[in-house]
Chain A
Amino acid sequence: MVVRTIVELLDADIIHGVDLDTREIRSCCGSDMMSDVLAYVKDQPVLLTGLCNPQVIRTAEMMDIMCIAFVRGKRPDEKMIELAKDRDICLLATKHTMFTSCGILFQNGLIGGA
């Protein structure tokens, strides 16, 4: 699927849109621990997280994660949005919880992969 499909499935707000219709996404990871993202994520272009601080953007930068979806209503602040814009990282926000978000995406064909 493409990022736009994730936006629709999660009923997400687009905070900063990048490559919404172009890049094919097959897998995704969900974690509030950046330590685990750094240690276990292999090739997942999308990160679901309930953690909301600048290190989420930096972790995505290091891991070549192209899209971050904040769950359970978390909203990145201006500083985080600036960091993401600078790095061409797409930011989404959904009201769904981590469990529900993962469930919806898994049910629609995304895999874990780590």
Chain B
Amino acid sequence: MDDAIQLKYTVSPEDFTRAGEASGDLKKVLKQIGVSPEAIRRVSIAMYEGEINMVIHANGGEITVYVTPSQVKMILQDSGPGIPDVEKAMQAGWSTASANIRSLGFGAGMGLPNMKKYTDDLQIETVLGVGTTVTMIVNF
């Protein structure tokens, strides 16, 4: 990926009001370089779901994005609790979110299935007590 643009974001833990800043910035960059609105929408939704997950389930983390003329690759890395059962987590409606998170408008268990739906590839590497890395690719 020699000709890739690389973007790096730090997702701050606990600051719920700022969750989504990275996704918003990525959206702006993709618009500037002329990516199609349809592809931008897919990237934005997937990245935002992932970013929100980092804030509400892990303790924030780092996001690295590579943009080439043909694809976006998003790597979301956290040092949170890890996901005990990824297969279960991928099911629509499955969530460990607290009542507090639901009162903030999230926690329907729709994020991971939605990330899968809008990306061409979704990989989850997770180790309990160590953290989770979610890698997503959207081709244009």
Contact = CB atoms under 8 A, between A and B. Distances in A.
A63 interface: yes
A53 B56 CA distance: 15
29 contacts: A32-B105, A34-B106, A35-B107, A38-B45, A38-B49, A38-B114, A51-B105, A53-B16, A53-B17, A53-B105, A54-B17, A55-B16, A55-B52, A55-B104, A58-B19, A58-B24, A59-B20, A59-B48, A61-B20, A61-B24, A61-B27, A62-B23, A62-B24, A62-B27, A62-B48, A63-B41, A63-B44, A63-B45, A79-B17
Interface of B: 16-17, 19-20, 23-24, 27, 37, 41, 44-45, 48-49, 52, 92, 102, 104-111, 113-114
A87 B23 CA distance: 13
Contacts of B105: 32-35, 51, 53, 55-56, 59
Interface of A: 32-36, 38-39, 51, 53-56, 58-59, 61-64, 79, 87
A51 B23 CA distance: 21
Contact of B41 (A33, A51, A59, A64): A64
Nearest to A51: B105
Given A38-B49, A39-B110, A53-B17, A62 B104 contact: no
Q: List the 10 closest pairs (A to B, CB-CB), nearest first.
A: A35-B108, A58-B20, A34-B105, A39-B110, A62-B44, A51-B105, A62-B48, A54-B17, A35-B110, A39-B114
Contacts of B113: 39
Chain B interface, DSSP helix/strand/loop, else mixed: helix
Nearest to A36: B108
Chain A interface, DSSP helix/strand/loop, else mixed: helix
A89 to B, nearest CB: 12
A51 B108 CA distance: 15
A34 B106 CA distance: 6
A59 B48 CA distance: 8
Contacts of A87: 24
Nearest to A86: B24
A87 B24 CA distance: 10
